[in-house]
Amino acid sequence: MKLFRDFSVLAGGQLASKALGFLAFAWIARALDPVGYGAVEYVVGLTAFFALLVDGGLGVVGTRRAIRNPDELALLAHQIPAARLMMAVVFVPVMALIALATIHVSVPQGLVWLFAASLLTAPWRQQWLFQATGRMASVANAEILRMAVFAFGVWIFVHSPADILAVGTAELCAVVAMTALCIHVQQRHVTPFRLTGSFSGFGALVREGAAVGSTNFVWALAQSAPLFLVASLSGGLETAWFAGAARIVGSLGQFGNLYHFNLYPSVSRAYALADGSLGQMQARSMRVTAWGGVFIALTLTVLAEPLVKLALGSKLLAAAPLLEILCWILPVALWSGHSRGALAAAGEQKKVLASQIIGLVATVAACVGLGLVYGSIGYAAGSLIGAVVVWAASHRFARSQGCEPPAAGFVIMPLALAAAVIALTRWQMLGFWQSALAIACYAAAAPLFDRSLIRDITQLGHTRLRSEADRLTSDV
């Protein structure tokens, strides 16, 4: 059950960090006025977008190379930060200028520059090192430290709309603390931290990362485009509503990213073995994520209004209808992650990129078309449409490349049961506790409707152990 133990460590750390972040942004939403909160969320989203650009796809490349050739670990630990630092120096002023040019409300310029400066610490937060060496607890601890520093900074210094600049200061302090911890763990447990070293093969590394990085760029743009569009075309309150709902979905979406982050080494090994184990593992994972992902989206749909009120306060209660739509991106992203992960393991980054480009075009077209007619609801619907298109495109590419993507049919039964629960709660106008009971009945009925669910959960938990045993046997 090592796969689930590692995921539990990551999920536990993510749960703690997201709980801190949840409380911090709930505080910010209450302390600032809605327009100021929307501006903060816009800058945060822009920073997250540029952080992926600074990563340059080198995290995926580093993990893949280190797993295949552990002797290359020390060289990668020096070269990857060097490449990322070069990109950070370029992207910091670009991000700041874009933010200042597109924000339509009055916010201190220092807020933008503080968040942009936080990107300069990113090169040395080498979570891929911990992923490649099985130190998932280090990844979790770093995330917890970051959000703890940010949350306490917000709680201490942000009390009114005039304190908006303190949000940026708290973010900068948080990423500095996180980076210091990552460097300490690297130095003590993985490989020496060095500012100088060999640049042999540096060009090839950057080129390989560029393929993944271009995919990350398109992926990040597709995720961020709706927020950027609503901020640019609608602005004001609609930005705050959309950003609030997206904040909840984005926080929960990190658990899906962690799931595939943890599964990726096993996917890479199974693909390399080429013995059919990849298809079996993907099918088991799809069944588990089909029921689990729909359960999460169902909960957010049925309880959207009380959850938004709890998370963001009554000032942003208008975000609840958007949450009911955006939350379905969570299971769709989980499902498409199987095809995208398998393509990455096969080295087919161009196919992953193509699926992201197709999804980006669909997202922008749907958001613009629906947003102009239906406002923020239209932007939420456009976001969901884009996620579905990415899943469809990546699945088709994975199947054509022999990456054994799981069948989409796994999601039919969970979706049908969820639709029945939603119809019941709306038709009967159930209260909070009755709705919660209906959701619990969905979870209890899952193994009854799908008799293979418990078996696949158990077998999936043993996947990583079998993959490691196969690798050791092949080495002998």
Which among 166, 200, 234 is the end of a domain?
200
Of 172, 200, 228, which marks where a domain is finished? 200
Is the pLDDT assigned to residue 323 strictly greater than 90? yes
228 and 193 co-located in one domain: no
Average pLDDT, the chain: 86
What are the tens digits of pLDDT across the range 402-444?
888 899 999 999 999 999 999 999 888 888 899 999 999 999 9
Sign of CA dihedral 416, 417, 418, 421: positive
Number of domains forming the structure of the chain: 2
Q: Do 225 and 196 lie in a common domain?
A: no
Res 473: pLDDT: 40
Asked if residue 210 is part of any domain, the answer here is: no
The pLDDT, as a whole number, for residue 472 is 35
335 is a domain residue: yes
Distance of CA 87 to the CA centre of its chain: 21
Say whether both 194 and 342 belong to one domain: no
Q: What is the pLDDT of residue 222?
A: 80
The answer to whether position 392 is within a domain reads yes
**CB of 382 within 8 A of CB of 389?**
no
pLDDT band at 158 (very low <50, low <70, confident <90, very high): very high
Please indicate, yes or no, whether residues 148 and 60 belong to a single structural domain of this protein.
yes
Predicted confidence (pLDDT) at residue 3 exceeds the cutoff of 60: no
Query: Are 227 and 172 contained in the same domain?
Result: no
Domain check: are 152 and 224 in the same one? Answer: no
pLDDT in tens, 166-211: 999 999 999 999 999 999 988 888 888 888 888 888 888 888 888 7
In a domain, 212, yes or no: no
Domain boundary among the residues 170, 200, 230 is at: 200
Check whether residue 234 and residue 88 sit in a common domain: no
Going by pLDDT thresholds of 50, 70 and 90, the confidence category of residue 299 is very high
- Which tens digits make up the pLDDT trace of 343-360? 888 888 788 888 989 999
Structure tokens at 241: 């509503």
Residue 190 and residue 266 in one domain: no
Residues 222 and 160 in one domain: no
Judgement on whether residues 230 and 113 belong to the same structural domain of the protein: no
Q: Between residues 394 and 214, which one has the greater pLDDT?
A: 394
pLDDT given at position 136: 72
Q: Alpha-carbon distance 352 to 344, whole Å? A: 7
Same domain, 172 and 303: no
With CA atoms as reference, report the closest residue to 129 among 79, 195, 54, 196: 79
In a domain, 117, yes or no: yes
User: Mean of the pLDDT values across residues 389-412?
Assistant: 92
- Is 209 within the bounds of a domain? no
Backbone angle region of 103, left / alpha / beta, with phi > 0 → left and psi within -120 to 50 → alpha: beta
In a domain, 400, yes or no: yes
Q: How many CB atoms lie within 10 A of CB 271?
A: 21
Q: Are residue 285 and residue 181 in the same domain, yes or no?
A: no
What is the domain extent for residue 431? 218-467
Portion of the chain with pLDDT greater than 90, in percent: 40
What are the tens digits of pLDDT across the range 362-389? 999 999 999 888 888 999 999 999 999 9
Residue 475 lies in a domain: no
Q: Is the pLDDT of residue 464 over 60?
A: no
Q: For 29-61, how does the pLDDT look when each residue is reduced to its tens digit (9 = 90+)?
A: 889 988 888 889 889 888 988 988 888 888 878
